[in-house]
Amino acid sequence: MKRKRVVVLGATGSIGDSTLKVAHDIPERMEIVGLAANSNAEKLAAAANITRPKAICLVDERKIDLLRTRLKYEPKIFAGQNGLREIARLEDVDMVLIAIVGTAGLHPALDAIESGKDLAVASKEILVMAGEVVTAAARKRGVKILPVDSEHNAIFQCLDGRASEVRRIILTASGGPFRETPANRLGDVTVEEALKHPTWNMGPKITIDSATLFNKGLEMIEAHWLFGVEMKRVEVVIHPQSIVHSMVEFADGSMLAQMSYSNMCFPIQYAVTWPDRVPNTLPPLDFSTLSKLEFFPPRYEDFPALNLARRAGETGGTLPAVMNAANEVAVAAFLNGRLRFPQIWLTVAQVMDRHRTVAHPDLDAILAADQWARAEATAAIGKK
Ligand code: NDP
């Protein structure tokens, strides 16, 4: 069995932490050969000092000196946006794991594909904004895109290569911290309340997306591209315990589900070791303490993100990129106290309504739509 040589982009974040734990847990199967972060020089140096990759990258060039002073060995150091693209093309690498929050991972993802590396994707934004471009590039170059997002990793496990026999893909959602909050109270929820996810410990952007259900909306579009399944076959069910990570219903009516505790090390490990399964130190499910698994339909009217995402995914073209960019701007404004919670989806809907969708866009058209949506959302928020 081969040891995978992995570059991790977004190494200082929540997924980055879990990826380093997996590498520590299965050293015979996984070797970290590159680590990249945006500006957290101390944390990047600390991680590098432990895992000793041959290359590291810090996008924020002002912190390179600080990074050097903290390193206890001499890896190759890349800096800036170009550095991120260079480390994605590093030689003698099997897989690039993209865990950069937002859209900054798109170019490095394409670089990794073009230079023949498999991609492990946590950054759902990449597939939402440029699913057609990224999956076509991977097909052309003959590389794999392996899902790290727990839901898509679950579907990947259930499908086991049989995408043509699928009747429905059912994404599970915890429902977030406001699953039971009455609609008339959503206007008063605070940033602190929104950041308290009931079952997962994640970075701030995805945690807010889980509270609005935009996270699940993004995942619907991600599933459509990853598995080549039409949007109308991708459904969502609320499952507060986050034990069933998603399900697939096949043509014969049989349904397969994947279960584990909510710990991102499970999907990260499977993305790295696929198609093999190898032992680890992760806790197995204990059914003597799991008293119930519940499933409910989502509250579509109170959480419009799901219908906005369905509309974006079904329309396709540049609309998913616009939804994603407007959401990023709105989430940042909510975190800064400049928007109320429901104004996140109101802003996104407003920007989507104003967009003139371009069908089958190339990368330039996608990036132009992304920029347009950011400017529109910023202007809309300024007026609120
Ligand atoms: P975090 O906010 O915890 O970490 C983000 C990481 O991205 C950090 O390493 C950060 O570096 C880096 N980064 C941010 N901006 C840039 C940039 N412009 N260029 C290069 N690096 C950058 O996020 P998460 O780990 O929670 O999420 C990462 C991605 O994974 C997101 O797309 C999210 O949707 C997805 N995901 C996360 C899950 C989770 O459990 N956390 C589950 C499933 C998917 P620095 O620290 O230096 O700022």
287: CA distance to ligand 1 center in Å?
A: 32
Q: In this predicted structure, what is the pLDDT of residue 87? A: 98
Q: In this predicted structure, what is the pLDDT of residue 164? A: 84
As assigned by CATH, the class of the 4-147 domain is alpha beta
* Burial (0-12, 13-18, 19+ Cβ within 10 Å), 91: exposed
Q: Is the CB of 321 under 6 A from ligand 1?
A: no
User: Which of 8, 9, 15, 246 for a ligand 1 pocket mutation test, highest count of atoms within 8 Å of Cβ?
Assistant: 15
Q: Is the peptide bond before 284 cis (omega within 30 degrees of 0)?
A: no
182: CA distance to ligand 1 center in Å?
A: 31
pLDDT at 291 over 90: no
Is-contact 205 328, C-beta < 8 A? yes
Of the pLDDT bands very low, low, confident and very high (cuts 50, 70, 90), residue 69 is: very high
Intrachain domains 4-147 and 316-384 with the same fold: no
For 144, residues 6+ apart whose C-beta sits below 8 A from its C-beta are: 118, 119, 138
Q: Is the CB of 361 under 6 A from ligand 1?
A: no
Ligand 1, residue 202: give the atom nearest the CA: 41
Q: For atom 19 of ligand 1, which residue has the closest CA?
A: 38
pLDDT at 1 over 80: no
| 356 φ, ψ (degrees, to nearest 5) | -100, 105
Q: For atom 22 of ligand 1, which residue has the closest CA?
A: 38
Q: For atom 4 of ligand 1, which residue has the closest CA?
A: 13
Q: Is the CB of 98 under 6 A from ligand 1?
A: no
Ligand 1, residue 126: give the atom nearest the CA: 32
Q: Is the CB of 11 under 6 A from ligand 1?
A: yes
Q: Is the CB of 84 under 6 A from ligand 1?
A: yes
User: Which of 100, 152, 156, 212 for a ligand 1 pocket mutation test, highest count of atoms within 8 Å of Cβ?
Assistant: 100
**At 33, is the secondary structure helix, strand, or coil?**
strand
99: CA distance to ligand 1 center in Å?
A: 5
User: How many CA atoms lie less than 13 Å away from 165 in the CB half-sphere?
Assistant: 12
pLDDT at 275 over 80: yes
Q: In this predicted structure, what is the pLDDT of residue 153? A: 98
Q: In this predicted structure, what is the pLDDT of residue 162? A: 87
User: Which of 127, 172, 202, 209 for a ligand 1 pocket mutation test, highest count of atoms within 8 Å of Cβ?
Assistant: 202
Other Cβ atoms within 10 Å of 308 Cβ, number: 22
**At 328, is the secondary structure helix, strand, or coil?**
helix
Other Cβ atoms within 10 Å of 138 Cβ, number: 19
| 70 φ, ψ (degrees, to nearest 5) | -90, -15
pLDDT at 302 over 90: yes
For 189, residues 6+ apart whose C-beta sits below 8 A from its C-beta are: 178, 181, 211, 341
283 sits in the region (left: phi over 0; alpha: psi -120 to 50; else beta) called beta
Question: Where do the structural domains in the chain lie, given as residue ranges?
Answer: 4-147, 149-314, 316-384
Query: What mean pLDDT comes out for the span 117-133?
Result: 97
* Burial (0-12, 13-18, 19+ Cβ within 10 Å), 135: middle
pLDDT at 138 over 90: yes
Question: What CATH architecture is 316-384?
Answer: Orthogonal Bundle (1.10)
What's the mean pLDDT when you consider all of the chain?
A: 97
Would you say the pTM of this structure is higher than 0.75? yes
Of the pLDDT bands very low, low, confident and very high (cuts 50, 70, 90), residue 78 is: very high
CA distances from 87 to 7, 78, 282 (A): 8, 7, 30
Q: In this predicted structure, what is the pLDDT of residue 198? A: 86
Q: What share of the chain is helix, strand, coil (3-state, %, to 5)?
A: 50, 15, 35
Q: How many residues does the chain have?
A: 384
Ligand 1, residue 102: give the atom nearest the CA: 32
Q: What is the pLDDT of residues 141-150, one digit of tens each?
A: 999 999 999 9
CA distances from 204 to 191, 207, 215, 237, 244 (A): 10, 5, 12, 23, 23
Question: Among candidates 37, 83, 34, which has minimal Cα distance to 56?
Answer: 34
Report the C-alpha gap between 325 and 329 in whole angstroms.
6
Whole-angstrom Cα Rg for the chain: 20
CA distances from 177 to 124, 209, 243, 300 (A): 21, 11, 17, 16
Nearest-5° angle of CA 141, CA 34, CA 32?
95
Lowest-pLDDT range, 33-42, 155-164, 225-234? 155-164
Ligand 1, residue 204: give the atom nearest the CA: 2
User: Which of 14, 17, 81 for a ligand 1 pocket mutation test, highest count of atoms within 8 Å of Cβ?
Assistant: 14
Q: In this predicted structure, what is the pLDDT of residue 339? A: 97
Ligand 1, residue 10: give the atom nearest the CA: 9
pLDDT at 216 over 80: yes
Q: Is the CB of 260 under 6 A from ligand 1?
A: no
Pick the more confident residue, 279 or 201.
Answer: 279
64: CA distance to ligand 1 center in Å?
A: 20
Q: Percent of the chain at pLDDT above 90?
A: 95
Q: In this predicted structure, what is the pLDDT of residue 265? A: 98
208: CA distance to ligand 1 center in Å?
A: 13
Is-contact 63 41, C-beta < 8 A? yes
**At 233, is the secondary structure helix, strand, or coil?**
helix
Nearest-5° angle of CA 155, CA 156, CA 160?
115
Q: In this predicted structure, what is the pLDDT of residue 264? A: 97
Q: Is the CB of 56 under 6 A from ligand 1?
A: no
Other Cβ atoms within 10 Å of 36 Cβ, number: 30
The residues that bridge with 235 in the sheet, in sequence order, are: 170
Of the pLDDT bands very low, low, confident and very high (cuts 50, 70, 90), residue 102 is: confident
- In terms of DSSP H, where are the helices of the chain? 14-25, 41-51, 64-70, 80-88, 106-114, 124-141, 150-159, 191-194, 204-212, 214-227, 265-273, 305-315, 319-335, 341-354, 363-382
